[in-house]
Structure 1
């Protein structure tokens, strides 16, 4: 690990705060959902595969005995302070996965409760904590109301949704969400974790794979489909201030996808008459990607070549995925990048996107 003097400022764009138990949300639920939760508990998002090594870092267990990721004070001690984080942006992957749960009213109530819990019990602990509000995607009008309710809070910096879906995210069904994001100056952050679960479509274009290794490897398929949909459905023309973050889905798939999209657009642009620029230009101006899990090959020149094929230094945001098993240490990854590019990726891009001091 490098010394404190050499450490770069870091903004971690994917830190997972967990519950002591899901009953933590009960005080924040409205009736009748509160009484229902007291009797039957709060439903969770079901991942259709089990990791053979578990999902969490073993060394992140709080000494307090609380569940992993549920102690904000230990998170400050174990993550924020040692790695020189200016900010840890908190994302509840367990709540956003509830968009695969069929009862949209129930999901909306749980999301409201989580957002109030986040604001009451996590964000006041430290000015270094900022939060992503959660919404269900089943009812975009209700989701937009929740964005308008919670979005003005000064410590809320983005809207989070799950990658799993029943249709690509560019389609008009979802547009009220993006209108509310733009109205509140909040990016949309898409995070994986429940593809193929609940009411979601299968996790790959050809159906269900057999195990977690295949599921985890194929996650970029979901992001590719959503990204192409955002562009071709004209979302970025309709909402010119709207930004999207593709979190935890890799990055090196982007250049060949944009080459193919631009090439096809030249011949088939009559099907998208609302687009005024090349597709890759919309992506460059409206889309961001997080670094974790970064594909670092043995020969760094190969990764550097991929970065040169898109505007990586301005589109990438550092993320650690703490406290998950595939945590990326900011003192270890991308060490061979030039200093100015590292500064952008590790903090400056996020500072500008999320309007952080």
Structure 2
């Protein structure tokens, strides 16, 4: 398969952000959860403060019998592989955020992992073109390590997933054993906005936003707090093999933010002797993004130049956010070079996740 560009060329396409769900809460509870957690209370996927105007999910993404959008592998495979020309899809199960009971949170994550592996990664027809994200609960180190150990050697598992809406910044030492385990498993970490209303902190330093538009515009920026903290705490200096994927867009904000960090960091490096480099020096090879619908200047004359600043050429990967309403298209600004286009659409993801797909642009 391939995606066709406006100039008629065809290129490989890796979708680095495909969200999958259970068909229903009954499906989750009865088929993948066990007591004492099966009968516990936890939020529905739809239980959040900010419903998207017009609906959260794109039309036609429900299962053949009305199951939840993004829950039927056959429907998803048709939409991605047949209709959109995707070669391979990186699956990211949507769980329920941080639960008050860490054991319940881990049980929910474990159920989603089992569902993804058995229904999707081992699907007899489509499994070869799916790759998976194992969800772990960062509030339960023992449970998280157990899930990593269980699936680390599965040939179609390519990353570990944690929620963007954490209760602590991910540079703090309590998370270091988790990141060390991820490195030992030779997997990157993907950080994504969660569904369902858990007990995470508000999405802005000033509290909760009023509308969905404000929430969607701001929420992804929380990666900046995590990233700043990880650099300041010396996480990437301490763990040179650690890779983080900020999977909910906002890559366009990296450049002004890191410029500001470098400006303030230059005269104050002595305050963080465990992180002796300039902040921007910790980006290459450590920091990656999935392209969001609203990222960057759009199809402007300077789009290619802006994309090249701060090394973003090598950091950003295309992701559709299927089955969510925006369904990001694999469109590339006309000002992008051929190399920039290929890195965005498939090459960066292929290198990060170790995927073998066609290496030549097809005409």
Do the two structures share a fold, i.e. TM-score over 0.5?
yes
Point out where structure 2 has 5 or more consecutive residues left out of the alignment: 357-363
Over the aligned positions, Cα root-mean-square deviation in angstroms equals 2.2
Once residues 200 and 237 of structure 2 are traced to their aligned partners in structure 1, the CA distance between those partners, rounded to angstroms, is 28
Greater Cα offset, 67-76 or 251-260? 67-76
Relative distance call for 1:236 and 1:298 in structure 2 (3 A) is closer
TM-score (norm 2): 0.89
Q: Write out per-residue CA displacement over residues 23-82 of structure 1, whole angstroms, 9 at most, x where no aligned residue.
A: 333333343224x26xx6x54464222222211111334445433211111111111223
The alpha-carbon deviation at position 221 of structure 1 amounts to 2.9
Which residue of structure 1 aligns with residue 37 of structure 2? 33
SS in 2 for 1:122: helix
How many residue pairs get aligned? The number is 348
Which residue of structure 2 aligns with residue 11 of structure 1? 14
The alpha-carbon deviation at position 153 of structure 1 amounts to 1.1
The alpha-carbon deviation at position 178 of structure 1 amounts to 0.5
Q: Does 1:311 align with 2:311?
A: yes
Which residue of structure 1 aligns with residue 205 of structure 2? 205
Relative distance call for 1:117 and 1:60 in structure 2 (3 A) is closer
Which residue of structure 1 aligns with residue 178 of structure 2? 177
Which residue of structure 2 aligns with residue 346 of structure 1? 345
Relative distance call for 1:333 and 1:133 in structure 2 (3 A) is same
Once residues 176 and 33 of structure 1 are traced to their aligned partners in structure 2, the CA distance between those partners, rounded to angstroms, is 26
Greater Cα offset, 182-191 or 294-303? 294-303
Which residue of structure 1 aligns with residue 261 of structure 2? 261
The alpha-carbon deviation at position 13 of structure 1 amounts to 0.6
Which has more helix, going by share of residues? 1
Once residues 59 and 298 of structure 2 are traced to their aligned partners in structure 1, the CA distance between those partners, rounded to angstroms, is 27
SS in 2 for 1:160: strand
Relative distance call for 1:206 and 1:175 in structure 2 (3 A) is same
Relative distance call for 1:200 and 1:121 in structure 2 (3 A) is same
Q: Write out per-residue CA displacement over residues 78-97 of structure 1, whole angstroms, 9 at most, x where no aligned residue.
A: 1122322221111122x1x3
Aligned pairs for 1:1-357 within 5 A:
2=4, 6-25=9-28, 26-34=30-38, 36=39, 43-44=43-44, 46-93=47-94, 95=95, 97-99=96-98, 101-125=99-123, 126=126, 127-193=128-194, 197-297=197-297, 300-330=300-330, 332-357=331-356
The alpha-carbon deviation at position 348 of structure 1 amounts to 1.2
State whether residues 140 and 175 of structure 1, in contact with CA within 8 Å, keep that contact through their aligned partners in structure 2.
no
